[in-house]
C-alpha cells in the first residue's frame, strides 16, 4: 500500500511540474514584442519583449526646446498613448484637456497629462538630428539615434 501511495505522489508531483512549466512557457510565448522598423525599407532596428506592457519615448521638443516624454501601453496588440510629460507650451503639445484626461504638475514644474487613452494605429517617430529620442522599455533606456541613426523614420508596431 505504501508503494502505491509513493507512486501516486510521484505521478502527481511530476504532473504538477509539467503543468507549471507549460504555464511558464505559454506566458513567455504570449508576451508582446515591440518592433522598431524603418518606415522606408522595412528593416527591423530592434525587437523588445514587453514585460510590463508599457514603454515611453523621450525627446527634446523642436519648437520649445524642452523635454517631452510620451507614455504608451499595449492592450490587445494595440498601442495606446496613456500620458505625456512636458515642461513648456509650444506647437505640438496639448493645450486643452479632453474627456477624462487630467493635468497635474510635478516637483520640477513638469506638466503631466494622464488618462489620455488615445489609440495610435501608426506610431512613427523621426529620430532627431539635433537631439536624441530615447526609448524606455523594461527599465532600459535605448538611444534611437544610436540604434537607427539620425533622421530615421521609425515605426513602432506590436507583434
Which tens digit of pLDDT belongs to each residue from 6-41? 655 565 666 655 444 444 444 444 589 999 999 999
Which tens digit of pLDDT belongs to each residue from 48-95? 999 988 999 999 987 778 899 999 999 999 999 999 999 987 777 788
> Cβ(144)–Cβ(125) under 8 Å?
yes
Find where cell 504532473 sits: 15
Per DSSP, helices labelled H in the chain are: 2-29, 144-148
pTM above 0.85, yes or no: no
What are the structural domain ranges in the chain? Answer: 1-30, 33-158
Q: Which of 29, 83, 89 is nearest to 54 (CA)?
A: 83
Amino acid at each position: 500500500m505504501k508503494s502505491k501511495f509513493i507512486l501516486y505522489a510521484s505521478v502527481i508531483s511530476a504532473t504538477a511540474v509539467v503543468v507549471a512549466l507549460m504555464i511558464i512557457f505559454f506566458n513567455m510565448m504570449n508576451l508582446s514584442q515591440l518592433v522598431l522598423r524603418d518606415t522606408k525599407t522595412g528593416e527591423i532596428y530592434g525587437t523588445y519583449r514587453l514585460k510590463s506592457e508599457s514603454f515611453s519615448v523621450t525627446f527634446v521638443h523642436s519648437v520649445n526646446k524642452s523635454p517631452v516624454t510620451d507614455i504608451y501601453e499595449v492592450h490587445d496588440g494595440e498601442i495606446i498613448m496613456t500620458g505625456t510629460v512636458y515642461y513648456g507650451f509650444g506647437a505640438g503639445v496639448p493645450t486643452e484637456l479632453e474627456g477624462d484626461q487630467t493635468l497635474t504638475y510635478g516637483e520640477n514644474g513638469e506638466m503631466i497629462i494622464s488618462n489620455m487613452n488615445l489609440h495610435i494605429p501608426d506610431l512613427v517617430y523621426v529620430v532627431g538630428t539635433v537631439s536624441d529620442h530615447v526609448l524606455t522599455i523594461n527599465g532600459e533606456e535605448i538611444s534611437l539615434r544610436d540604434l537607427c541613426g539620425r533622421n530615421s523614420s521609425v515605426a513602432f508596431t506590436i507583434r
